Structure 1
Amino acid sequence: MTVVAFALTAVPAAPVASALPGAQPAGTVSTPPDGPAQAWLVADLDSGQVLGSRDANVPRAPASTIKPLLAMVVLDHLNPNSFARANASHTKVECSCVGLVPGQAYTTSQLLAGLLMVSGNDAANMLADMLGGQRAAVAAMNAKAQSLGARSTRASSPSGLDGPGWETLTTPYDLALIYRQALKYPLIAQIFQAPTASFPGKTLHAQNELLSRYPGDFAGKTGFTDLARKTLVTAAQRNGRRLVVVLMYGSGDLYGQAVDLFDWGFGQPT
């Protein structure tokens, strides 16, 4: 485990980041709590200072925690009020799904709510088609990751699903970069904060349990595949300070680990 400080603006070359241009010393800090996720990171969202990490630069599968990368690409290219009609191909995907109905029209903002609140893989497929198809969407996701400095990230599907011969890879460090930028998009931040949202034929309920379980939590995305195991990225604020916690390759209660890391992080000096 390492406890380091650096700005989330460049990707370190070494397996453990400890010195980057512009890095500031973290000072003496107590050992952060560990937990069931084998790789994790806790950082200040605003300053970029990483307070603590384990294996923060080791590439692993992120599962659905990569979806905000697609959401940014969507908002870079599509009007939130534009709409399209779902077709059967969008629903032919391993779920979790928001439950698209072929022939039904959905706006971009509705699909983003389905993508981020309930991890709809069918919504990811439809948004990819609206961007020109899955190959074009994945290429745009990878270009976006590179532009953010997330150079260890390689998307292979719009949803984060893996398959034979292809897998999506990223690191806790890169996910912190991605979420730091994604939360600057007002619509993404709004969707993450909402406990519920209207959707054609139903009401969506956010899967992020920390919205009600941890005071100050304002964003979160879970993920699971056999390759990724459990993953979680979540953000919270307290007394004007905002932290992000990234957990990868986990089992058991990742929410509990996130709570422990938040409590530890908010107790560290700025």
Structure 2
Amino acid sequence: MPHLFRIRSAAAALLAGALLVGAAPTAVAVPTAVPPDGPAQAWLIADIASGNLLASKNPTGQYAPASTIKTLLAMTVLDVLSPQAAVRATEAHTKVECSCVGLVPGQVYTVRQLLDGLLMVSGNDAANLLGDMLGGQRPAVTRMNAKAASLGATSTRANSPSGLDGPGWESTTTPRDLAIIYRAALKYPVINQIFQQREASFPSRTGAKTIKAQNELLERYPGNVSGKTGFTNLAGKTYAAVSQRGGKALVVVLMKGSGDLYGQAIRLFDWGFAQ
């Protein structure tokens, strides 16, 4: 029975062009071992610098991204707002399906604090407030989609700043597009800092509280530099991450998953670096 995933040889990579827009394809050795499959129905692993797709399964299939799309929101915010810009939360920003970082109505937050809550603990309330800072939820989504298109992630359609889904406004993207988005995110120093911090101080009703990163690969996988989980009933489990080793950086994207996606990501990273 043939494998459902694909392995790119050097010739195939050159003929197909770079996976990651803005990277020039380079010749790579043909992988010498079969990549590990796993619970995600769609996935890929690619080299960040060259853009070569090392292995994949349904890399251009359309799936709901859940909270992995929050990284696109973070880039869109930083394109127009300073990390020091401040805004006051209202009760409306807290009226959202959680996960939430715990915004307090009347409290003032900086963009940097909201991005901490967005990327570390996947705060949908933080996404709401950041969306309003971009002019409102629909204008924010329009900006996010324009940003995705400018990166070459042309199959991405965000319909909410947070990645939450609802009837008639489901977000969609592909593993390929998420790889492009997470590669682009590496160019933002603030996003890199947030993804690599284990904990941060966040304003609370009593002064401050400590929030901790949800990305388990920060502790479980040496060389992990970014990772974002997501889950909705429509999306299932999703995960996108970048790890570095020996001067190489690889991106792994997992979509429409269940079970242990961290384990699948670790196996794919180990396989990719071994190539």
User: Could you say which TM-score interval applies, normalised by the shorter chain?
Assistant: over 0.9
Which structure 1 segments of 5+ residues have no match?
12-20
Q: Give the 5 Å matches for 1:92-103.
A: 92-103=95-106
Distance 1:178 1:242 in 2: 15
Distance 1:260 1:41 in 2: 12
Distance 2:137 2:270 in 1: 40
Partner in structure 2 of residue 234 of structure 1: 241
| Kept in 1: contact 2:44–2:254 (CA 8 A) | yes
Q: TM-score, normalised by structure 2?
A: 0.91
Partner in structure 2 of residue 28 of structure 1: 30
Distance 1:253 1:149 in 2: 30
| Kept in 1: contact 2:24–2:50 (CA 8 A) | no
Aligned partner (choices 3, 6, 10) of residue 2 of structure 1: 6
Partner in structure 2 of residue 220 of structure 1: 227
- String of CA shifts for 1:167-197, please: whole Å, max 9, x gaps: 0000000000000001110000000000011
Distance 1:237 1:41 in 2: 16
- String of CA shifts for 1:82-106, please: whole Å, max 9, x gaps: 1000001110100000000000000
Partner in structure 2 of residue 146 of structure 1: 149
AA at the equivalent of 2:274: G
AA at the equivalent of 1:264: W
Distance 1:253 1:208 in 2: 13
Q: Give the 5 Å matches for 1:56-205.
A: 56-200=59-203, 201-205=208-212
Does 1:258 pair with 2:265?
Answer: yes
Superposition CA RMSD, Å = 1.4
CA offset at residue 241 of structure 1?
A: 0.8
- String of CA shifts for 1:189-244, please: whole Å, max 9, x gaps: 00000001111121110000000011111110000000000000011111111111
CA offset at residue 40 of structure 1?
A: 0.3
CA offset at residue 22 of structure 1?
A: 5.8
Does 1:54 pair with 2:61?
Answer: no
SS at match of 1:189: helix
Where does structure 1 differ by over 2 angstroms across 4 or more consecutive aligned residues?
A: 8-11, 21-28
Distance 2:96 2:28 in 1: 45
SS at match of 1:232: strand
Distance 1:187 1:243 in 2: 20
AA at the equivalent of 1:139: T
Distance 1:133 1:259 in 2: 38
| Kept in 1: contact 2:70–2:163 (CA 8 A) | yes
SS at match of 1:8: coil
SS at match of 1:56: coil
Distance 2:87 2:21 in 1: 37
CA offset at residue 261 of structure 1?
A: 0.1
AA at the equivalent of 1:91: T
SS at match of 1:231: strand
Q: TM-score, normalised by structure 1?
A: 0.93
